Structures are given as structure tokens and as C-alpha cells.
Chains A and B, each alone.
Chain A
Amino acid sequence: MNIAYYPGCSAHGSSLDYELSTQACCKALGITLNEISGWNCCGSTPAHATSHELSAALCGRNLDLAAKQGADLVVTPCPSCLSNLKAAKERLDDVDFRHKVNALLDAPLSQTLPESTSVMQAMAESVPLDVLAGKVTKSLAGLKLVAYYGCLMSRPRERMKFEDPENPMLMERMLEACGAEMLDFPLKTACCGAAFGIPNRKLTQQNSGRILNLAHDLQADAIVVACPLCQMNLDLRQGQAERGLNKVLNLPILYYTQFIGLALGLEPKDLGLKKLIVSPNNLLAKWAQAKN
């Protein structure tokens, strides 16, 4: 299968570690990612909040490029990009809508555009859990983790097709295959506050604080995430949340690809662990201790 890879803007900026670890894991698991040549920003929230046609034009162009390089499937690590790519493809089925989108573009879109899915789902699809477990060289045993999917990964149900929208379990299954103990995390699909960190900091402080606080009270060693913006709110803004809660948390926030990479025996530097704001050193020390 020809898998086209759409990194999304944050992969080249705020979530470089997600990008590094995604690439490293896929390579280690034998999944070839063909980055879409000449891709552009999906438009994120500003585009679809302005106009559906604009958002679909930006996403449609990416899907079109993927189609032209012979892709059967487009994968992206970012749930927000994925949501936009999927929404664009859905809406482009409507002839009038497609007409308006084409008017915004230099060249009309290909009639057939590829489906898109998350890197996580593609990874689980091509590497069954028992195979993944077989590739683990440094088990995550001894670590108690909670999986946090964010609000967008599984919603809306019909579009994202990602397990039960209120209680997805895929990350738990993958990390359990890597040896970690996964705690039940009721807030796994709650909103972190998303882009409100800028216009309404208090809201993000409150939402992210609630998630961090519960993970702390459940005595998790770290939170595992799959979304660049969630990671930023929980990690970069953890100090803000701590001030709101009046409590020290010091909870490392790692991408699932960073944990899987560690389990596969990849080096921390190749997984971008240095990029994390809340230091994972205590976590890694605990892990090292558990291994002995």
C-alpha cells in the first residue's frame, strides 16, 4: 500500500518531537511514509471557521497532491488536520460545493481523492498488537500511564470512525502491548482548552488543569497524548495549570510514539524527548529502575 504522509504545520514547529518519533516508530515498524511533496497547511480552525470552501480548498489541494503521487491512503499524526482532511473529502462529494472549491484553486481537484486516517490507526492496522509486542525490546513495565486522546480524535463519531467516541481504547491496547500499565482515565476525551490558550487563557488553564489534576490524583507517571495542541497545553502550559490548581504536578506529557519508540529500543534523542518542557528524567529513571 502506498501511504502518503501529511505531517501538518506543527510537525515542523511546536511538535517536532512528535514528528521525529512518528518517523522513527514507522521506520522501526516497517511502515513507509511518503511525505506529500509540496503540501500546505490544512487551514486549521481559522480556515473552517471562516469558510468551509476555503478549508476544503486547502485540504483538497493536499489530497489532490497525494492522489497524483499514487497514494491509496493519506495518514497524518495530527487529529485536527485529520478532521479537516476528512471533512473536506466528505463535503467535496457535493457537486456544487466542489465547483465553489475548484474556483478557489489554480487547477481543479482530481475526481477521486484518497481516504485519510490517523498514523495511530494505520499503525495498528499494519502492525497487529501481538506483532508489536514481539518487537518490544525494552518493555514499559513498571510505568503507570494514562492515555489522553483529546476531544477531536474520536469525534464526531461518523466522521472520525475512531472506536467509541467517549471511551476509545486503541492507545491503551498499543501501550499495554509495549508493557505499560494503563490506568482507566475517564477524562481521556475531554477538551484541553485547545486554541483558547491565547484568547481565553483561564479556560485552557481550567480545562487542562482538570485533566492534569485527575492524572495526578490517579498517580499516573505520565500522560500519553496523540495531538500536538493537547501536548502543548498540558506540557508547555502546565505551569499555568499548576498555579490555577495551587499544586505541583510535574507530570511529563509524552506522545504515544515516544513511548512506543522507547519500547522498541530507540534512543531518547531520536524521539525528541529533549523537546519536552516538563522533564521526563524522573520518569525515565523510574523506568530504568523498574527494568533492573
Chain B
Amino acid sequence: MRIGVFICHCGSNIGGTVDCAEVAKRAATFPDVVYATDPMYTCAEPGQAAIEAAIHEYALDGVVVASCSPRMHEPTFRRTVERAGLNPFMFEMANIREHVSWIGKDVEPNTNKATELVAMAVEKLRRNQPLFAQEFPVIKKVLIIGGGVAGIQAALDCADGGLPVILVEREATIGGKMAKLDKTFPTIDCSACILGPKMVDCAQHPNITLYAKSEIEDIGGYVGNFQVKIKKKATYVDWHKCTGCGTCLEKCPSKDVPDRFNEGVAKTRAITIAFPQAIPKKAVINADYCRQITKGKCGVCAKVCPTKAINYEMKDEVVTEEVGAIVAATGYDLVDWHVYQEYGGGKYPDVITSLAYERLMNASGPTGGHILRPSDGREPKNIVFVQCVGSRDRSIGRPGCSGFCCMYTAKQAILTKDHIPDSKSYVFYMDIRATGKLYDEFTRRAVEEYGTEYIRGRVSQIYPDGLGHLVVMGMDTLLGQPVEIKADLVVLAVGIEASAGAKELAEKLRISYDHAGFFMESHVKLKPVETNTAGVFVAGVCQGTKDIPASVAQGSACAAKVLGLLSRDTLSSNPQIARVNNMRCVVCGKCVRTCPFGAIKSVEERGRTQIRVIETMCQGCGLCTSTCPQGAIQLAHATDNQILAEVNALCQI
């Protein structure tokens, strides 16, 4: 074999703390190495051209590049060697940047370690085999999970691009959190007015199939060929017949039902339509409160329904869809702020979340857009906003910033003044984070034009004084003294976490999530909507905090990625998969039971049972290879022999 080795300086990134020329000099003495050099920037166009030239000049049949992480440039260099006529898998990479130069400052040990990593790569390369990808057809359809603004945007962009879209929403209506908001910062435009048309477009678009009140039961398959089981929850209303007339809502006698859409500041009936602009505008029965379902006596809605749509016997139904790509856009939930006993832990009706406050300001909300206290229906005059409740608080394990609370709190203070001109708003804050376009100007407006009193400091306690007011005790850290404010209403800007069930969904999607349950992107900067599972993308707050414009941008970004992926008729499989050596296999079946992807099957062939790896399903995780007692199943490109050769190289150099 004839191997070429390229030790990259990466400017001073590697060259600053590794003697690259020395590493190249030592590498030239390794077995089969016929050429070694140390270019300044290997990934740059001249660097790649030099690799191609060397392959031709020295008749190389394998290349090692020692530079950055393979997650950065392995695909780049595989393409380089392929252009020069080599199989892309006759290439190895040694990571001497993240693993060497960035973590140690001493040149000599760094140089030694870099040499060792190069020696390992050379020994592995000497045992590499050319691998060839297979082509397989893709299903040109996309599943979007979550019908908030990010999911809606992704759905519309994909559908406009000609792709059939399956949009699955857990609630009875799409719209997500944005549908609950009154106005939006920094332009104070009405949330429903800008979101509503998009929701209607979703309902009317010929390419979009909407499953509301539905959840993902199971996901199988792989990029281009996912099989998805969707559980359509029983709504007890035949939506084909329901016209959304609302007669049933008026007549339902079960009146004391907690209203999820109104964030607990109102009660609703056992049969509901979430809000007037709901999409789909269909009634749903809450089985926990329906008298007919719980007690077997009532049936009022069935009697009054003009289209006979009520069906108390309805059961959950599972449908299967096949798609080529999946976008997760499952949004967020509020952190459970009831852990804060010092704020009453939920005991005081006039201490509410900012999302509940949106419902009180919203014209289609339970108070018709009049701000009234939940306790006694009185108009509040002194309103205290408390930021960072459940954000930036290590004591409850939430060290992160929720991102958009500073802005909506400023907005709510402004709108409060518009609603109640003789009111006074106070905002307790830690820092004002207003980094978006026109954002700082907006928060300044709340202070300068609307007279909102911003107090820098945290609130230590909120309690009712027994005379109808709430006492808010806090610290003014700029004045260095405690403050006490008598409030009529307290609005908590409660921090966010991934929505309920996000972790379970992540496991079905085989993607990772962080400590707060937010989905992990493939690369924090360069692959913000991709995940480490091919064909699965993430949009909106399910990946981490975002405001509306950023969520919409990610929805569109996902659509671009999906349209690009599914524009191809076929995809290439990754050939780095498990292979069975039938000569050694004793058909014990351990690998079949171990494989987490169901990619290994035992099949009957010519009268014998044989183990077969389904190439498109195998993810190359290697669990089977470490399970096999015979060493009969091997991961191509990471065989036992290759790994042992690397270990040998490391121990013997």
C-alpha cells in the first residue's frame, strides 16, 4: 500500500502548539507511508488540490489527514480523495486539534501525542477496504410534529414546494403558544391577526393533511423511509359532520371544567372549541368531565347537535403514514413555578403566569380583553411583573435564560397602560436582555413613554395582606435597599422547558436532548436544524429558546432542508454498517435481540437459517459486534482487526 500523510497547521490553531513538520518527518517512517508533508491549511482549496496532486504524483492508494475533528471535515476530505480516483473510505483522519493542540500548551508532548494519533490512523488505513454505498428510493412526503408557528411555517413552506405534508398536533387546534398571545413585540401587532391566515392556509392547502388531537405513537424506519404510527385521540365528535356551530358548547351543563387554552384563568364546558379562530374549528369532548361519559346520564350535546356529530362511543384510532423526513416542532411548556413557595406556590389566585395574563388581555379571552383580577373580577391598578421565575435559578436546576421574557414583559407593561391608563406597572428584573432588531428601543419605550418602573432585583416573597392586596417584597440592588410594593395583581414571567412528552418523543425519533429536555441539534452553530439522526430536523423552541421570528426562520430552514433532501429520487446508504461472516456465524441470534434498530433479521436461505443485516436500517452503532461471541458480525470500517491495529500502534510506538 502507498499512503500519503498530511499534517495540517490549521494556521496557528495546531501549528502553535504542535511541531507539525516534526510529526510529518516521523510519519514518513511509518509502514507503507511514501509521502508526508505539513500544509498550512489542508481544507482550503490549494490544500485539497495538493492532496489530489500527491495522489497522482506518488500513486497513493490511501490518505491520512491529521487536522481537526472528523465531524468538521471528514466529508470534505472524502470528496477530495474521491475526486482523485480513490474510494472515499480509503481515507483516515487524526484529530490533532480538538484532541491535542487546543487542550495542551506544551509543544513536545503535543507533538508526541499527535504522532501517536497519526500512527493509529495509518495502521487503521492499512486495513481499510473500499466501501460502496447503495442507492435506495425515498418517500416524498414529510411529517411535521407540532402545529405551533414553527411547525406551521415548515408545513406551509414544504407544501408550497410541492411536498405532501402530514401535520400532527397534540391539542385540538393548531396555533401553539402564539395563538394564545394578545399582541406581539416589538411591533404590537395582533398575534391572532398574523397567525390566523397561516393557520387557515394550513387547513386549506391541498398538500397538507392535518391530524389534530393526535400524538405520535411510534416511529420506525430510516431517512427516506420512515413508518409513523399516529394515534388519533377520541374526540367523541365526528369531525366530518361537525360544522363548529357551537350550539353544543352553549347547552353543555358541565360548566366547571378547567380551561387549558385559557391557562386556568377561566372555566369552560365539557365540550369545547378552544377559541373562535381554532383550526380545525371542531368541538371536542373532555371525557373526564362529560356527564354522559362519566355518569351515563346527560346526552344534551347529542340532542342539540344539528348534524348528529356526537359519538360517545368513539375510541382512539391508530393510523400509519409513510414519510421520507420528519420535522419536530413541539415547542415548550412553562416550568412548574409552584415550587416557589415564597410566591405562594399557586395558592393565591391573583399571582398568575404571563401566559395567563395574555389571555386576560386578549379580546377573544375569557374577559373579552378587559384586565380583571381572577379573585374578584376587579380591575387592578398596581401590577407587578416578576421576571426570571424559573429561569437563571440554579436552586431549582434551571440555570439558563428563557430568552424572550424580558421582551414580552415590556410588552405587557406597555399594553397594561393602554388597557388601564391610570395603572402603574413595576418590573422586577435581573438584566434586560433585548438583543433583537428594535428590541432595546422597545424596552426603552416601556420605561420612557409608558412610565413602567423597572426595579433591578429579585422578589423574595409575595403574600396577601389580608385586606385584598398582595405585598411584593424584593430588593432594589441598584439602590441597595429592600422594597415593598402593594400590588393588585402579580404576573410571573415563568421560564420555559421542553414540552411534556418531549423526551419520550426524542427517544422515538432517536435524537438527543439536553438536561431541560430540549432537542439537540447536530451542530450548535453550523447545523442548527439538523439532528444526529438523518432525515430528522428540529424547528422552534423544542430545540432551545426562541422568539417568534426565530421560530419562523427555523421552520423555513427545516422546510429548505426537507425539500432539498426529498428532491432526490434516491438516497445513498451509509456503507459503514454491520456485515455478517457466515463462515463464523453460529446463528445464536444474540445480535438480532441486541440491535436497537431492528436491523438484523434471521432469514431462511437455501434450507439454512442465516443472519442478515438490513443495510438501510443499520445505523452502524456496533452494539452487535461487541455482543457476538464468534466475532462473526463486524462493523465495516471499524472491524475488530482495525481497532486492535490502532491499539497496537498506540502501545508500540
Contact = CB atoms under 8 A, between A and B. Distances in A.
Nearest to A213: B465
Given A166-B341, A184-B347, A217 B463 contact: no
Nearest to B470: A186
Contact of A167 (B341, B462, B464, B465): B341
B467 A186 contact: no
A24 to B, nearest CB: 33
Given A186-B461, A190-B461, A167 B466 contact: no
A166 B395 CA distance: 13
B342 interface: yes
A218 interface: yes
Interface in B460-477: 461-467
A217 B463 CA distance: 13
B344 interface: yes
B399 interface: no
Contacts of A214: 463, 465-466
Contacts of B464: 186
Interface string A170-190: 000000000000001011001
A217 B341 contact: no
B345 interface: yes
B463 A167 contact: no
A217 B469 CA distance: 12
A148 B465 CA distance: 16
Nearest to A186: B463
A164 interface: yes
A217 B347 contact: no
A166 B342 contact: yes
Contacts of A184: 347
Contacts of A190: 461
B259 to A, nearest CB: 26
Contacts of A164: 341
Interface string B7-28: 0000000000000000000000
The SS class assigned to the A binding surface is: loop
From B342, B345, B347, B462, residue with most partner A Cβ within 10 Å: B342
From A164, A186, A214, A219, residue with most partner B Cβ within 10 Å: A186
Contacts of B341: 164, 166-167
A218 B344 CA distance: 16
A210 B340 CA distance: 21
Contacts of A166: 340-342
Nearest to A168: B341
Interface in B111-169: none
Chain B interface size, as a band, is 10 to 19
A217 B465 contact: yes
B483 to A, nearest CB: 13
Interface string A25-56: 00000000000000000000000000000000
A246 to B, nearest CB: 16
Contacts of B342: 166-167
A164 B465 CA distance: 22
B582 to A, nearest CB: 60
Given A217-B466, A218-B466, A167 B461 contact: no
Nearest to B395: A157
Interface in B373-425: none
Contacts of B344: 186
A219 B466 CA distance: 9
A252 B341 CA distance: 27
A164 B344 CA distance: 12
Contacts of B466: 214, 217-219
Nearest to A218: B466
Contact of A217 (B340, B345, B462, B467): B467
A169 to B, nearest CB: 10
Nearest to B460: A190
A214 B347 CA distance: 17
Interface in A202-219: 214, 217-219
A187 B465 contact: no
B211 to A, nearest CB: 42
B340 to A, nearest CB: 8
A186 B465 CA distance: 9
Contacts of A187: 461, 463
A166 B460 CA distance: 10
B458 to A, nearest CB: 14
Contacts of A217: 465-467
Interface in B539-586: none
Contacts of B347: 184
A91 B411 CA distance: 49
Nearest to A167: B341
A217 B340 CA distance: 24
Interface string B318-353: 000000000000000000000011101101000000
Given A186-B461, A190-B461, A167 B467 contact: no
A184 B466 CA distance: 10
Contacts of A186: 344, 461-464
A30 B150 CA distance: 66
Interface string B433-468: 000000000000000000000000000011111110
Interface in B306-321: none
A23 B154 CA distance: 72
A150 to B, nearest CB: 15
A219 to B, nearest CB: 8
B301 to A, nearest CB: 40
Contacts of A219: 466
B541 to A, nearest CB: 29
Interface string B497-535: 000000000000000000000000000000000000000
Nearest to A165: B341
Interface string B340-368: 11101101000000000000000000000
A184 B345 CA distance: 12
Contacts of B345: 167
Contacts of B461: 186-187, 190
A218 B467 CA distance: 8
Contacts of B462: 186
A154 to B, nearest CB: 10
A212 to B, nearest CB: 12
Interface of A: 164, 166-167, 184, 186-187, 190, 214, 217-219
- Of all A-B residue pairs in the complex, the 10 with the closest CB atoms, nearest first, are A186-B463, A166-B341, A217-B466, A167-B341, A166-B342, A218-B466, A164-B341, A217-B467, A217-B465, A187-B463
17 contacts: A164-B341, A166-B342, A167-B341, A184-B347, A186-B344, A186-B463, A186-B464, A187-B461, A187-B463, A190-B461, A214-B463, A214-B465, A214-B466, A217-B465, A217-B466, A217-B467, A218-B466
Given A186-B464, A217-B467, 14 more contacts: A164-B341, A166-B340, A166-B341, A166-B342, A186-B344, A186-B461, A186-B463, A187-B461, A214-B463, A214-B465, A214-B466, A217-B465, A218-B466, A219-B466
